[in-house]
Amino acid sequence: MERKQCSDQLGRPIEFNFPPQRIVSLVPSQTELLFDLGVGDRVVGITKFCVHPEEWLKSKKKVGGTKNFNLEVIGQLNPDIIIGNKEENDEERIKLLFEKHPVWMSDITDWKSAIQMIEQVGSLVDETSKATVLINEIESRFRNVIRFQPKKTLYFIWKNPWMAAGKNTFIDTMLLKIGLVNCVPQERYPILSDEEIKKLSPELVLLSSEPYPFKEKHIQELQQILPDARILLVDGEMFSWYCSRLLKAPDYFSSLSL
């Protein structure tokens, strides 16, 4: 096995055994990507939130959550490489991993960085051709994606406090892809008061299924704040998972009545 050098999406140089035979994935969407790249037998550790593919929940070692992953368990797995993400993983715990293991970090804020990540992970695991096929299929499906009327849209990811997806997020990118206008002016994930929500006066409110599991009862609660807005529950994976789940997103968007 040779040693390979490369840089991750944070610009950090890493060196690791290539092709890696023992991979730990700390991000659900990137775990699914590894499965779709055909390297399932080389993935030895995942988080408890890595729900796709479903069969891995029983067959793979769980290393904890995306924020509170267990450093000792990861060390026992003796990984050739760990694949994480700047936004989803805890920065301080990731720094501790840096000290002992090769860690490749993604940093996804838009369409370009998502496609680049798929390409780079394909190269990391020696499946460049499969990654290229996957990227081409994703881009082909999105060329024909449905585009809705440009309604002012508010996309919530959390409650108590209310948190919305703002600019410079992949969710914002996906809203734009289907013609919706994100009415949140701030970047990243601002906390919004009831008064701030009212002032935004969105026409459409989307309540994500993750990370907060919004339910029907939350529609009624929010309708008190925004009586004139249309409020819907949506599959958060389709708006925020930036890997191979993008293959399914166009058909899902077509099923929505917005």
Q: What is the pLDDT of residues 149-174, one digit of tens each?
A: 999 999 999 999 999 999 999 999 99
Query: Structural domain tally of the chain?
Result: 2
Given this model, what pLDDT does residue 224 score?
Answer: 95
Q: Is the per-residue pLDDT at 8 higher than 90?
A: yes
**Domain end call among 141, 164, 180:** 141
Q: What is the mean pLDDT of residues 93-111?
A: 97
Taking the CB of residue 95, how many other CB atoms lie within 10 A of it?
Answer: 10
**Same domain for 227 and 199?**
yes
Position 204 confidence tier, pLDDT thresholds 50, 70, 90: very high
Distance CA 17, CA 21 (A): 8
> What letter represents residue 6's amino acid?
C
Q: Is residue 146 situated within a structural domain?
A: no
Position 82 confidence tier, pLDDT thresholds 50, 70, 90: very high
Position 1 confidence tier, pLDDT thresholds 50, 70, 90: confident
Q: What is the mean pLDDT of residues 119-133?
A: 98
Q: What is the mean pLDDT of residues 29-57?
A: 95
Given this model, what pLDDT does residue 3 score?
Answer: 94
Average pLDDT of the residues of the chain: 96
Q: Which helix (H) or strand (E) holds 135?
A: helix 128-143
Q: Is residue 147 situated within a structural domain?
A: no
Full residue range of the structural domain in which residue 206 is found = 152-252
**Same domain for 22 and 137?**
yes
Position 57 confidence tier, pLDDT thresholds 50, 70, 90: confident
Q: Is the per-residue pLDDT at 75 higher than 80?
A: yes
DSSP class of residue 86? T
% of the chain residues with pLDDT over 70: 100
User: Do 201 and 195 meet the contact criterion of CB atoms below 8 Å apart?
Assistant: no
Given this model, what pLDDT does residue 37 score?
Answer: 98
CATH of the domain at 64: 3.40.50.1980
Q: What is the mean pLDDT of residues 204-224?
A: 96
**Domain end call among 121, 141, 161:** 141
Q: Is residue 177 situated within a structural domain?
A: yes
Taking the CB of residue 54, how many other CB atoms lie within 10 A of it?
Answer: 8
**Same domain for 171 and 115?**
no
Given this model, what pLDDT does residue 72 score?
Answer: 97
Given this model, what pLDDT does residue 58 score?
Answer: 85
Distance CA 84, CA 70 (A): 14
% of the chain residues with pLDDT over 90: 97
Q: What is the mean pLDDT of residues 17-34?
A: 98
- Tell me the whole-structure pTM to 2 decimals: 0.94
Q: What is the mean pLDDT of residues 5-14?
A: 97
Q: What is the mean pLDDT of residues 44-52?
A: 96
Q: Is residue 225 situated within a structural domain?
A: yes
Q: What is the pLDDT of residues 232-243, one digit of tens each?
A: 999 999 999 999
Taking the CB of residue 217, how many other CB atoms lie within 10 A of it?
Answer: 8
User: Do 113 and 173 meet the contact criterion of CB atoms below 8 Å apart?
Assistant: no
Q: Which helix (H) or strand (E) holds 239?
A: helix 236-240
